[in-house]
Structure 1
């Protein structure tokens, strides 16, 4: 199951890691562990943020996705299940539409 991991970094903790030179090492450590399919860094509502696409085979691994961000950066983490266009085609929307439209 693909998950979109939305990480929002608090200014104080992230600024400290930038100032002491540890931000790259910390980020590399987390990304090497999680092995995301894709990572994008952006801004959301004035906060530094990261969006990661992760293939999650086992829901019991969700804490392993979130805890590094919580513990290292005191970040806010949101998880969303996402689908590719191929996944959506396999969802059977037409069948569901017929079933639930009457």
Structure 2
């Protein structure tokens, strides 16, 4: 299931990880585990934020994808199922057949 994960990080927790030199390790581990097909990092609402597009093999994978964001980064997380253009075309074709 292709899923868009949008996360706004808690400033205090992320500042602490940066000051302790742990942020590259935590972000690297998350990216290695989730293997996003797209990853974007930006400021949002006065916080550090990012959007990842990941392909989760089953719904239960949401737990392992999101819990570290809440527990380690204090993130506000939004999950949205999404599709690429090819999948959209396939869905539209099913409507007309």
Alignment TM-score, normalising by the size of structure 2: 0.89
- Structure 1 unpaired stretches of 5+: 97-102
Q: Distance in 2 between matches of 1:14 and 1:28?
A: 14
1:93, distance to aligned residue in structure 2 (A)? 6.7
Please tell me the root mean square deviation across aligned C-alpha atoms, in Å: 1.6
Number of aligned residue pairs: give it. 96
Q: Of the two, which has the highest radius of gyration? A: 1
> Separation in 2 of the partners of 1:81 and 1:40?
17
Provide runs of 4+ in structure 1 moved above 4 Å.
none
**Equivalent in the alignment of 2:50:** 50
Instruction: Provide structure 2 residue ranges, at least 5 long, that are not aligned to the other structure.
Output: none
SS of 2:70's partner is helix
Q: Does the C-alpha gap of structure 1 residues 94 and 63 become closer, same or farther in structure 2, counting only changes over 3 Å?
A: closer
- The structural deviation recorded for 1:63 is 0.5
